[in-house]
Amino acid sequence: MDGPITEALGAHHPYYPLGVAIPTYVANTMNAGVLVSIFAAGCGVIFVPTYLFAVRTRPAISFGEVLVAFWWVLCGFIHLTFEGYFSYNHFDMASKTDLFGQLWKEYSLSDSRYMTQDPFVVCMETVTAFFWGPLSFFIAYATITNHPWRHPLQLLVSMGQLYGDVLYYVICWYNEYVNGVAYSRPERYYYWAYFVLCNAFWIVIPLALMGYSAKTIAKVFEKTKVMNGSAKKHL
């Protein structure tokens, strides 16, 4: 396909598969390095007030617990603001030229479904933004304050993140290997750095946190069982 037909289908853009219709596409004005640097700096800045709040609220908090709080604050920030932005603007992401719009268009070089109102990614990102986003901030607070709801909610949200991420991967791979539809550009950087690496964090870290919370809850139940048994013996 070329010429007027290609233009009519909205193929005047860098996204794959070739010929996918994105009629409202407007090119980014910032390059990838600038966009990624700004996003990384924004994520890093939120760690400063988190750390200050943690050490002032609970001076004896361990470094590991601070790192967990960092993770949940980062999740809350990304889910609620960045993914919430996509959920709200998904109907016309391709024309957005503000920072988040350009970030999404850069990421979409690895997954063009974000430019085409794909039902799965729209629904998945909406659930992530408005359910897991606020809960992530609460879990960060619960981690710092040693709140009793920390581990039940950590299990719930981590499972939700893991489940959504697994579906995100396998639906894309199914379409690529079964239906022959590839959403990523052919340059492997986009596939391995954006699609695989950026999303792998929400596989590895939720699995680790789920295991930690499950063990913690199991120990509490075991301790309660032993205490109840000892109390019955003294009756």
- Under the banding of pLDDT at 50, 70 and 90, the label for residue 10 is very low
d(CA 43, CA 105): 19
The pLDDT score that the predictor gives to residue 224 is 80
Reading phi first (left if > 0) and then psi (alpha if -120 to 50, else beta), residue 96 is in beta
Average pLDDT over residues 86-105: 97
The pLDDT score that the predictor gives to residue 234 is 62
Q: Which residue has the higher pLDDT, 9 or 120?
A: 120
The pLDDT score that the predictor gives to residue 166 is 97
Side chain identity at 66, as an amino acid letter?
A: V
Q: Write the pLDDT tens digit of every residue in 132-155.
A: 999 999 999 999 999 999 999 999
- Of 216, 85, 79, 62, give the one whose Cα is nearest residue 137: 79
Q: What is the separation of C-alpha 195 from the centre of its chain, rounded to a whole number of angstroms? A: 12
The pLDDT score that the predictor gives to residue 221 is 87
- Of 38, 41, 73, give the one whose Cα is nearest residue 54: 73
Residues 61/54, Cβ–Cβ less than 8 Å: yes
Q: Provide the token pair at 118.
A: 């794909």
DSSP annotation string for 33-55: HHHHHHHHHHHHHTHHHHHHHHH
Residue 181: DSSP 8-state: -
> How many residues comprise the chain?
235
Q: Write the pLDDT tens digit of every residue in 163-202.
A: 999 999 999 999 999 999 999 999 999 999 999 999 999 9
Q: Give the global pTM.
A: 0.90
Dihedral, 59, 65, 70, 75 alpha carbons, nearest 10:
-140
Residues 20/116, Cβ–Cβ less than 8 Å: yes
The pLDDT score that the predictor gives to residue 227 is 74
CA angle 63, 67, 71 (to 5 degrees): 170
Q: Write the pLDDT tens digit of every residue in 19-68.
A: 899 999 999 999 999 999 999 999 999 999 999 999 999 999 999 999 99
- Of 174, 138, 164, give the one whose Cα is nearest residue 153: 138
The pLDDT score that the predictor gives to residue 11 is 55
